[in-house]
Structure 1
Amino acid sequence: MTFHFEVPQEKVPTLGERSFLQIGDKALALFNVAHQLYAIDDSCPHQGASLFGGRLAGKVIQCCAHGLRFDLASGCLLNSTQLKVASYPVTRVGEQVFIVMDAGERHE
């Protein structure tokens, strides 16, 4: 079963920007890259550092703590599939933006 979290309009990032979202006890980062929205967990899978403030180059986010770089679309560490940050599909319906999560991921 899936859950569609509606992103508040003021939290939808403009082109080239990002926003931080708290959904229950889950922290997410939402990025707008070339008018495409990407949602990932804000915690690096290596040691839990925040990815929200990382350096963004195209659709690649670099962790501030140790420099690991993750593809926003797949969540995978660049050049590897062994380490991955959770990523979530983002859909638009008119002006509304939704992050699609498994029902168990809401952590309410």
Structure 2
Amino acid sequence: MSRQIPVGSADELAPGQRKLAFIDGRSIALFNIEGEYYAVENSCPHNGASLAGGQLEGRLLRCPAHGLRFDVATGCMPGKGGLNLATFPIRNVTGRLELSLDDAQPGQCHSQQCGT
């Protein structure tokens, strides 16, 4: 069963902004991209580098350490195969952001999802 964890108000995360949340010893990067909310593990699956400061290109987040890119919606790298980043369901509930912690899983990547 998933737990709904409050991670701040929607007003704190305007479009184009990001923030970190620390929950149960985990660092989670939150993003608002064009009014849609995304949450990912703040650790690159390649070598553990922090992703929160990475460059965003649409929904693609570039790891500042080695340049790997991940879709923040799916956790997938563009193209076939590659590493998967853990994503977390996040939603806006009457102006409050809630993250479902127990549902975090690396994305199941398919070429249709990640073919950017």
TM-score for the superposition, normalised by structure 2: 0.83
CA RMSD of aligned residues (A): 2.1
> Which position in structure 2 is the counterpart of 1:28?
28
Percent identity reads 37
Letter in 2 for 1:59: R
> Which position in structure 2 is the counterpart of 1:38?
38
Shift of residue 104 of structure 1? 9.3
| Unaligned residue ranges in structure 1 (runs of 5+) | none
Higher relative contact order (CA 8 A, sep 6+): 1
2:71 is aligned with 1:71: yes
Contact preservation (8 Å) 2:88, 2:104: no
Distance in structure 1 (CA, Å) of the matches to 2:104 and 2:14:
29
Distance in structure 1 (CA, Å) of the matches to 2:67 and 2:26:
23
| Unaligned residue ranges in structure 2 (runs of 5+) | 106-116
Distance in structure 2 (CA, Å) of the matches to 1:68 and 1:28:
18
Shift of residue 38 of structure 1? 0.3
